[in-house]
Structure 1
């Protein structure tokens, strides 16, 4: 073996260790978050159907309102990682504090908008007369935890940028455990009903935010970074996050269009669609963990001025994305006969979902590349391109999806349109990474 090939192998092994060290804890933290809603649903479900329906409407509104601000995590990760790569930890933490202050401001604005309009929002989402009162109760109380949720997003981004994904995992597991215990105690022990579930979630979310703030503040004091709000820094964070907000809204629009088209296909199709969408989301968590590692690693390389290292890391992560996609696709194919009966005993729904799941399985290698390249460009701070690429994808996907019922296509055809959407995303992201224009070195982009 030549020295050159040995060196190349050493580089790949180093990248592999970094990817695994960051991606595995990130995956655990990503999976822990949806467990909040699952725990609430399991506990509230025993109160009655109306309460569970109210929780469903309120939690959908709540999660939508929070998820559109996921840029707080993404943009902060990239900015902090660059400063880490440049060897300026005080500036890295100061950058993270700007993101946390922005999260607190946005959270306060969202709460101020939700509280007086809660009944109207619940009505807009079509809650029944029996479920609406429970939905209003849950949303009004749980909205008080929105600032904490956004602080968690921003602080998670800070720690990821600092190359730490283990602390977010510990906080997420602790938050989920506290949420479950508080829900049981307040819903049944104290007899507060659905209000107890909401208060339990609020307390758990603020506990998580508090834990993150202790970690970040202690780091700031250790490195002499200022904790005071800085208007220019907060404004810069908002400007960096705006393109990622456009990207997120475009992706949400794609998922909403898919659900709307599935509903037009019939009750069996929409039921099968919801099952497939839940699986697709779970697979996305696994691939997103690699993307998160990409954000942190690429940002650090570019901050250190190592363009060659960033290219090599990008190449290796794409290989990871493809391999992970192949493995996940095979697992979906093998598990289809076991997976579907877990969600429904309706043979019609199972048959409808069966073919669509095959489409999802075959498209997983494409999804693997998409998630990785998305993370690479986020780590590079290439938000404007990501926003443009997602708008192009939305424009191309929408007519194809809407024409599925017109041409007599079923759920498999609709998910074929989703696979096409991912293929378009892959092409736009691949063209950008191939061009090299995303490689901008330095502590700031």
Structure 2
């Protein structure tokens, strides 16, 4: 059980002196979080590389690509985020209770041959019986050829493939009206390059969703190294393409972007094939029956997270739309700041993944002491990471702005956004890790509906501040948005409600 003297609202300060300690829990978090963070940032870093080299062509092309990337990423999140989050929790739970069932069987066999069987405490026996019943409910085991049978794995791949195809068709057929909603009117200077880039980027959508669904399975199994090995070469691939083509295509504007984007799409399919080959060696992916699949469970919890991610997506997409309406210069600067903001903040997602996987296992086993310790540790580490990122970006982005563009006006607006990008890093890190903590507790309903409330206030702030304060107003509103997200995440644990009621014990 949790510590009786622990005030739920003080969970951030529980054993704070041990936050950086490499004990058993610290090593497990680091083993999961570091590869996960590197894998998660692979695609944003690839987008940053693309942004940097296209920015050398001109501010119009940079702004056009910025709108397209923002639109693609936010629509992708609508499909990706619920799928990956649910998959990680479900797989971790199933893998955990499978171990609990095997432990129970071993203990049961040994106790049958012992005259001391009646000395087993009833409470311990009840807990083992609960884990056994839970394991049976998941219908998991070992296949004859040694592969794990985890129902969530084939379910995630089926759903990911379908969603990827739907996303590609939707973005390609509706590119023009979607860009118009983003503030890029048809016939404007940004219209043609933005539409072409978006359509080409969308060709890789099925591969992206399948890859992330498989990454969700690996994360649930607490294996974040395999996805890193498969996806970590994407930025290097993009860098080599950019270096070899920027000189020859510098005068052809979107021809360069098209060439690199096509190659990147092909490379994403290669990554998906590598991940599938590796996963099928560990997990049974050819389901024997419909009953075995967990599609209904996915749909129920995925729908709740879909509500959440739509709210999140609308806030970020609206901010990009407001920036696009200010002009190509402002949008180009916003694109640079936003990509850096997201790429750096996603480092905290590595901690979120570690927290989610460990917490899902702890809750499945009803090990509440470990759940409380894990939540405290990952939240403390997220704050430390956030402050480090704030210092690094506060100084580094001032000198690195010219990497993305040589346009003096764009650089000036980037300078306006830098304080917001840097100062919000601790808040962003906390917000992302709180998400992972609550997902690990399978608290999907609260995560969804609290985000809707946060989105309502954030959208109002965006509309008001962008119209009155322009570029600065957008970043003030985004700061408000992330602060409310962090507050909503803290509220559940701090009040010891829902799955965190045990903190009152």
> Shorter-normalised TM-score: what interval?
0.7 to 0.9
Q: State whether structure 2 residue 27 is matched by structure 1 residue 17.
A: yes
Note the 1:250-399 alignment, pairs <5 A: 250-263=311-324, 269-344=330-405, 349-354=410-415, 356-399=417-460
Alignment correspondent of 2:484 = 424
Of 189, 209, 234, 1:150 maps to: 209
The alpha carbon displacement at 1:415 in A equals 2.3
What CA deviation, in whole Å up to 9, does each residue of 1:343-388 have, x standing for no partner? Answer: 4556655555445432443332222221111111112221211111
Of 101, 106, 115, 2:158 maps to: 101
> Normalized per residue, which structure has more helix?
1
RMSD: 4.0
What CA deviation, in whole Å up to 9, does each residue of 1:90-142 have, x standing for no partner? Answer: 47732122111111122233344455556666677545488877766666665
Q: TM-score, normalised to structure 2's length?
A: 0.72
Alpha-carbon distance in structure 2 between the residues aligned to 1:54 and 1:349: 14
Q: State whether structure 2 residue 282 is matched by structure 1 residue 219.
A: yes
Alpha-carbon distance in structure 2 between the residues aligned to 1:48 and 1:275: 13
The alpha carbon displacement at 1:395 in A equals 1.1
Alignment correspondent of 2:106 = none
Describe the SS at the equivalent of 1:219.
coil
Alpha-carbon distance in structure 2 between the residues aligned to 1:153 and 1:430: 27
- Distance verdict in 2 for CA 1:163–1:123, change over 3 Å: same
Residue pair 1:373, 1:433 contacting (<8 A) in 2 also: no
Alignment correspondent of 1:209 = 272
Residue pair 2:66, 2:332 contacting (<8 A) in 1 also: no
Q: State whether structure 2 residue 84 is matched by structure 1 residue 27.
A: no
Based on CA coordinates, which of the two structures has the bigger radius of gyration?
A: 2
Alpha-carbon distance in structure 2 between the residues aligned to 1:378 and 1:211: 28
Alpha-carbon distance in structure 1 between the residues aligned to 2:61 and 2:474: 32
Structure 2's unaligned 5+ residue stretches are 1-13, 100-139, 142-147, 249-254
Q: TM-score, normalised to structure 1's length?
A: 0.81
Residue pair 1:183, 1:201 contacting (<8 A) in 2 also: no
Alpha-carbon distance in structure 1 between the residues aligned to 2:417 and 2:241: 39
Of 77, 81, 93, 1:82 maps to: 93
Greater mean deviation of Cα atoms: 301-310 or 431-440: 431-440
Structure 1's unaligned 5+ residue stretches are none
The alpha carbon displacement at 1:193 in A equals 7.5
Alignment correspondent of 1:72 = 83
What CA deviation, in whole Å up to 9, does each residue of 1:157-202 have, x standing for no partner? Answer: 00001001111110002455566778999999xxx98765454333
Describe the SS at the equivalent of 1:210.
helix
- Distance verdict in 2 for CA 1:46–1:270, change over 3 Å: closer
* Equivalent pairs, count: 431
Specify which structure has the bigger relative contact order, considering alpha-carbon pairs within 8 angstroms and separated by 6 or more residues: 2
- Distance verdict in 2 for CA 1:248–1:130, change over 3 Å: same
Alpha-carbon distance in structure 2 between the residues aligned to 1:329 and 1:174: 27
